Every structure is written in structure tokens, then in C-alpha cells.
Chains A and B, each alone.
Chain A
Amino acid sequence: MINLEVPRKFRPLIAQAQQVAQGVLRPVSRKYDREEHTYPKELDFLAALIQGMSDGGGAGGAGAAAGREAKSNGSESNGAAPDGMRNGGNLASALSIMELCWGDVGLLLSMPGQGLGNSAIGAVADDAQLERFGGRWAAMAITEPEAGSDSAAIRTTAVLDGDEYVLNGEKIYVTAGERADLVVVWATLDRSQGRAAIKSFVVERSNPGMKLIRVEDKLGIRASDTAAFSLEDCRVSKADLLGDPAIAPKGGFAGVMRTFDNTRPLVAALAIGVARAALEHTRDVLAAAGVEVDPDAPAATQSAAAAELLDMQADYEAARLLTLQACWMADNRRPNSLQASMAKAKAGRMGTDVCLRCIALCGSAGYAETELLEKWARDAKILDIFEGTQQIQLLIIARLLLKKTSAELK
């Protein structure tokens, strides 16, 4: 049965997330925007709360670590519709992320224990690794100074030496890299073998071979630390390589990339949370100024401001539903690469677009630091960049629709 409403069983989770967003995140939102690099200590007890929500079952994680929850919840039979369709961890995570990012995106990205590395570990780790790394905060290090979207071009090397791999290279833009316990580092076993030789390694933050070079000063999401590392003869146990250590000519890298099918809709959810904050604020500001959208009247007979608000709300809703679709497919084990990228592309561009237009509608009050609108616009911009830029998403979508390889459609 076609039903696009938020599942009943997730309402408590969403209400809880909204309380956190309103009561904990919003009040310190501006503080950590101003005090970049200061650790938001308010998050420590939140992390415990969220872990509790997640372990409680059914609800799924609140942060980016949902890929793992999706795996376990997807096989549960509780709450399935008569036609077998179920709502699991991916959807739950997206919905709670939307609420929390209505509070603050940067703070959500700093949520202890909810790093992108946790998703990778959850998706591909073996049982011993799950045991070893479970409950610890893991960041993800892919990007290098000379390799961004083209992640197959990374230069960080991993050389087997006895029972250890020795990593050498430089990693940048590692979200939560300073604060996490672990960093999942992408490195190549053999640069001449391209994608197939790229593996991920779990590195302890305390490893003396991994040196923090700097923490970035950024346009937005300033509450979230973005680290750069150098790896200098960084020795990692053989047992900390995630997945198959063999260089498989086919499929290995694709497997790594597939974890994005779970994480991209969640990044889309980040953008949707911010956009909703901006839209609600602008709607209230405009209402106070005497402008309200009449859904029944034609756009052309309403004020330009009302028509623009309606336009933005339509784009927002499209992005939101695309995101829920991608999560629903993941929860029901349906291939969702196309829908995940469509959600990310639409939500990414919508988030920035909506926030910037809302500033213009609110005028000086939108641009000044007295309100959070200008911050939301700065925060939103990253969401059209990380976890695959707008352009990369369009490329993925086009290759899938047109049945083109990356060699044909570059």
C-alpha cells in the first residue's frame, strides 16, 4: 500500500530527536559557530542517550552510523506491513537526523560514536573487528590533497611488513578526525592496480605514526572538527584491514563504494533538516510581516514572497520524499544506488538554495548574526560537497540511466 507518511512507530523517536534539537542543540548552536575548535561538551551525555535509543532496538542510530543498524533491523519481522514492506534503521536514522539537523548540523556531525567510519565498520567489518571497534567513535579518511571526488586516485600506500601494514601518505578533510577514537583510512596496496588495490584500515587515533597536521577553519559546520593528518610509517595490525585483503580485479572497489548507498541518503537528511529550519523560520518571519502562503490560490495571484516560499517548500518536499524513498529501499534490500544519488543531489542543492533564498526574503535580519539563518546557509553548503559532490551524483545518476561506464561518461 502506497503511504508516504512518517511511520507511526518512529513518532516517539522523532519526538525525542526534536526535543534534543530544541533543548540541547539550538541553544548552543551560535556558541560553537563562534568558538570553532572548542569541543562541545554538551554532546557527551547526548551520545549516551543516543546509544541508548539505538540499543533499544527498532529505532536505529541517530547519527551517520546507521548503515550497520540497517543491516540488523532489516531482517527483523516486527512492524512489517501485510505486503511485507518494512521500515527499518535507514529510515529511522534519516528521520531522526532531519530533526537533529533542524537543531544544528555541525553538532550532529560531532556526535561522539556516530562517525562515518562507524558506518564503514558496520558495513564490512568481521565479527572480531566488530567486537574490537564496537562502541568507539570512528572517523573516515578518504580525501587527499590531490584526490577529492576521484577517490580511486589516492596516493596513500599500505605495504605489508610481517603482521603489520605500514601506511604512508596525507589525509585531509577528516570529519571528527581530531575527536574520534579511530580513523578508517583508505590506502592503496599497489598504485599500479588502480581501484582494486584500495583498502580501508582502522587506525587508532593514538597511533604514533598518524600525526595531526591541523584542524581547518571553515565556512560553516564549525562545531565539527575537520582534521588533516600525515601518515608516516604508520604501522597497523593486519587484522585491522576491513574486508578482503586480496587485490580483486573486479568488484572490490565497487563494494566499498556501495556503502555510500546507505550513507548518501543520510547526508541528504542533513540537508533536509537545515532547510526545514530555514523554511520554518522564514515562514514565521514572513507571517509576522503579513505574508502567508495560501495553498489554494494560484502562485501568480499571491505576493512574490509567498510564491517563492511555496516554490521552496515544493523543492524541500521533493528532496525529503526522495530521501525517504532511498532509505525505504535500503531497508527493504532493494538496490538503491540511483535513488540514493538522486536524493543526495536534490537535497544537496535544495539545502543551499533554500537557505540562501530565505536570507534574501528575511532581509537584514536574515543576513545578520542575530538570527541563525546566515549560519544555516553556511552550514548547508558542505552538504552539496561531501559524501559525493552534486556533480558526482549527477554523474552516477547519468551512468546508471544511460548504462555508461566511467570510461565512456567521464
Chain B
Amino acid sequence: MSVADRGMGLGFKALNSLAGLELVDRLGLRKPAERLLYQASRNGARAAGTAGRTFSAAARLGRPARLSTAASSGVFSLLPDDEQRMLRDTFKEFGREQLRPVAQAADAACEAPEALVRQAAELGLTMLGVPEELGGAVTERSTVTAVLVAEALAHGDMGLATAILAPAGVSSALALWGDADQQSAYLPPFVGDDVPAAALAILEPRPLFDPFALQTTARRDGGGFVLSGVKALVPTAARAELFVVAAQLEGQGPALFVVESAVKGVFTEAEPAMGIRAAATARLVLEDVELPGLALLGDADPAVYAECVHRSRLAWCALAVGTAQAVLDHVIPYVNERRAFGEPISHRQAVAFAVSDIAIELEGMRLTTWRAASLADQGKPFAYEAAIARRLCVTKGVDIGSQGVQLLGGHGYVKEYPVERWFRDLRATGVMEGGLLV
């Protein structure tokens, strides 16, 4: 069954029945109780981890299901395949009609509308990295597809895209590195009707953070582990039911652990930031959290952890590309319509050349990101390519965010236009580690 067929079966069709305004209305009708809860968490009060569902295996797998790598045709090509085009177009439309109209309100509220998150989950995002035999939607690794989807969603709004994509990061991590028991226990909800909020937590709150030098620790205790430490800017942490947490495993190195939010010692503290505010970023505090042996993902293999970091960085690259594209698409009509000295400001080279530079650097960001993703799909090393893409997306993405505001002048500085939000969102690219994964 193709992604398209399966996707249609699982809710792509819901797109057509959704009117953009409906979601805005729902945001306005949010229950007062929810609003109160939200305010409480926003004011820095510590909340216990969400008492979510209990994850347990419905049926045990004999061996872990893995996605195969895609054989390269050996031909240089930038043409996405039919499925990729369909998904990209679908999520671009979703971004335009469902994300962009509510983006400013979500940014102000530091929260993604619940209905929107549910709607996005129904589109099957968490299934795109999961093999068909586990109920997912694909048979081959689909890093490029995930990049295209992230790009498309970020074109709508980067903060909301972050919130929406966070669970897919966890489901992809489980599909990539989980053993049979872990996949049996944790994956089913991600391919079901009620997808849990979940996020990958790597970043820690300190300057010059290096994901390969973690201060969150894991020590062995009997057959299990005890985790302690603090993770920063974890998307949707307050309502997440499951985390994949990076911690330094004593005597070994950085490793990934599956942590259920309901476990004792898991706390979250709201940590709103400059941008991607709709992702409801929060600190994840782990105080002597006791985990079963099942929690260790990928056998603490250094290669698994490195791949996780690279894939996460690529996800942020993809979001930067989508957001930078939004900037370009916004400034072009603006500079053509805005008049000064008797003509459109786009007739001035100083303005026109700034637009050209945005387009050039944006395309470079996109191509370097695609290259790393395509190598990942082919099962080839992509650490260097991911580093190159990240460097470019960090430096040029931030520039583009700033240029977007500059080209609109005073209009760019006020909340009437989205460019000030993109300025704030694009700065996340160099800061974020973890949170998402492609």
C-alpha cells in the first residue's frame, strides 16, 4: 500500500472538510479551565509530568521492524517522487490554510491549538517514519520525505510545525533504533487514532552546549537505569506523554532513553523563548528517575546517538528552509506594492538585491539539507553533510529573518505582519538540539 493510499485512509481526506476559520473559532472557545492551567504552567510553576497512558505491548514482535534503505538511481536529480510531491503539496496547503491563520495567536498564547494538533496527527505525520508492519506508512527510509514535509509545514508556521512534528520525531526514533520490545510497547499509539504528545530531549540549559558532552546522567541500577539532569526548550513537554531523552550513560557515553512522563521524578517547567513559542517549549527536569532496562534505546551505540543528533539537526534545517521561504514569499509582493519616492521600492537595487540574496542563500540552504537527507536515505554517512547544512541554515537563516524585517522597515517590526515572528523563529536554528528528528 502506498503512502498515498494509506494516508487517504487515515485522514488526509479530513483536510478538505476543514475550514481555516473553524480552528480559529475553536481557539477562541477554549475552555476556561484549560486557560487557567496553561497560565499556571506559564508562570514557572513546576508541574508533574503528564499522567498519561500506560505504554504496554499489545502484541510482541519477534524482531524489530526496520525500514530498508533506498537504492540510488545513480542519477543526479532534484525531482521529488510522486508520493513526496503529494505529501509536500498536502502539507503546504495545510500550512497555508490551517497554520498560518492561527500562528500569531498561538505564538502569543505559547501553545498550539489542541484541535490543530489533533488534526495534524490525523494526517498521519507520526506514521511517515514507521514501517508498514508496525502500522506505519512506509517501507523505505524517508528522510527526504520528512524534510519536505517539515519544510512545507514551517512555511505555514515554524512554531506550530515544531509542535506538530515533535511526536513524529519520537516515533521515527523508535522505528530506527528501538528493539522488538520497545517497538511493541511504544509504537502502537503513534500509529493509532489518539497520537500522544511526545518529544526528543537533547538540549541542556548552558552556554556552548555540545550534544556530545551531556550533563544529564544515567547510571545503571540493577537491571535498569536512574536518570538525573535538566533538558532545555523541549517542545510540548508539559503535555508530552513520552520522551526520548539523551543522557550520559556512566562508563559508556551519550545514549538515548525512553522516558514516560508519568514516571516519578519527571517534571516540566514552562520555558517560553524568543521564538517557536507555539511549540510550548519547556524544561524537562529529571530527578532520580528510575527506568526499566527496556528504556535504553539503541544499546548505547555511539553511532546511533550521533545519527540521532544529525537527524535532529536536519529537521531544524528543514524548518529553517520552510520559514526562510515564507520570508521570501512575503517580501516579494511587499516590496512590489510598497511605494517610496514615487515608485515601488523594488525598483531600487538596494532593495531588489536584498531579495536576490535571500533567494540565493535560501536555495543553498535547501540543497545542502536535501543532500544530507538523501544520503541518509541511501544508508550512506551524512555527518559532514548535515554539519554543512546546519552551518548554512544557522548563518543564512538568521540573516534572512533579519532581512525580512529590514525590508518591511517599521512594518516589519510590528505584529501586524508575520516577519517579526520569523525573525524570532529563525534564531532557533542555531540553538536547538533535539526536539525534532527527520
Contacts and interface: CB of A to CB of B under 8 A. Distances in A.
Interface stretch (A134-142, A152-160, A197-205, A294-302): A294-302
A254 to B, nearest CB: 20
B59 to A, nearest CB: 34
Interface string B213-228: 0000000000000000
A5 B383 contact: no
A328 B74 CA distance: 14
Given A342-B359, A397-B360, A404 B75 contact: no
A338 B383 CA distance: 30
B17 interface: no
Given A1-B81, A298-B209, A311 B356 contact: no
A398 B306 CA distance: 40
B391 interface: yes
A86 B81 CA distance: 15
Given A2-B374, A3-B73, A395-B349, A314 B367 contact: no
18 contacts: A2-B374, A3-B73, A3-B76, A4-B367, A5-B375, A6-B76, A79-B75, A81-B74, A82-B73, A296-B310, A317-B385, A318-B392, A321-B371, A325-B363, A338-B359, A397-B360, A399-B352, A410-B347
B370 A1 contact: no
A310 B391 CA distance: 7
B70 interface: yes
Nearest to A307: B391
Contacts of B349: 391, 394-395, 398, 409-410
A87 B387 contact: no
A4, A300, A391: most-surrounded residue (chain B CB, <10 A): A4
Contacts of A79: 75
A196 interface: no
Nearest to A11: B74
Contacts of B373: 2
Contacts of B72: 1, 3, 5
Given A2-B144, A346-B364, A408 B347 contact: yes
A246 interface: no
A322 B388 contact: no
Contact of B75 (A80, A297, A338): A80
Interface in A355-401: 391, 393-395, 397-399, 401
Nearest to A4: B371
Contact of B395 (A4, A314, A328): A314
B387 A345 contact: no
Contact of A342 (B84, B360, B389): B360
A396 to B, nearest CB: 8
A203 B67 CA distance: 62
Interface residues of B, number: 58
Interface in B211-262: 211-212
B78 A325 contact: yes
A228 B53 CA distance: 81
Given A1-B72, A2-B77, A5-B76, 19 more contacts: A1-B81, A2-B78, A2-B80, A2-B81, A2-B144, A3-B73, A4-B371, A8-B74, A300-B208, A314-B391, A317-B371, A317-B385, A318-B363, A321-B364, A325-B363, A345-B356, A395-B352, A404-B347, A409-B349
Contacts of A321: 364, 367-368, 371
Contact of A295 (B209, B328, B378, B386): B386
A351 B80 CA distance: 30
A83 interface: yes
Contacts of A324: 76
A408 B348 CA distance: 9
B77 A314 contact: no
A237 interface: no
Contacts of A2: 77-81, 84, 144, 370, 373-374
B335 interface: yes
Given A325-B367, A394-B357, A395-B349, A314 B374 contact: no
Contacts of A1: 70, 72-73, 75, 77, 79, 81
A7 B353 contact: no
Sort A-B residue pairs by CB-CB distance and give the 10 closest, nearest first: A318-B364, A295-B387, A398-B352, A321-B367, A8-B74, A4-B371, A81-B75, A397-B356, A314-B391, A85-B77
A87 B75 contact: yes
Contacts of A401: 328, 332, 355-356, 359
A85 to B, nearest CB: 4
Given A4-B374, A298-B208, A328 B77 contact: yes
A81 B72 CA distance: 10
Contacts of A5: 72, 76, 371, 374-375
A409 B392 contact: no
B403 interface: no
A286 B344 CA distance: 49
Nearest to B313: A296
B360 A345 contact: yes
Contacts of B209: 298
B353 A301 contact: no
Interface in B321-353: 328, 332, 335-336, 344, 346-347, 349, 352-353
Given A87-B76, A296-B309, A301 B356 contact: no
Contact of B355 (A8, A314, A398, A410): A398
Interface residues of A, number: 57
Contacts of B79: 1-2, 83, 85
A319 interface: yes
A300 B355 CA distance: 29
A179 to B, nearest CB: 34
B111 interface: no
B74 A319 contact: no
B269 interface: no
B372 to A, nearest CB: 9
B365 interface: yes
Contacts of B383: 295-296
A83 B77 CA distance: 10
B361 interface: yes
A313 B76 contact: no
B156 to A, nearest CB: 21
A397 B75 contact: no
B306 A83 contact: no
A88 B363 CA distance: 22
Contacts of B114: none
Contacts of A86: 75
Contacts of A128: none
Nearest to A300: B208
A149 to B, nearest CB: 13
A311 B395 contact: yes
B75 A298 contact: no
B22 interface: no
B210 interface: yes
Given A83-B77, A394-B356, A404-B347, A301 B391 contact: no
B81 A346 contact: no
Contacts of A214: none
A310 B80 CA distance: 29
Contacts of A8: 74
Interface string A224-261: 00000000000000000000000000000000000000
A95 to B, nearest CB: 9
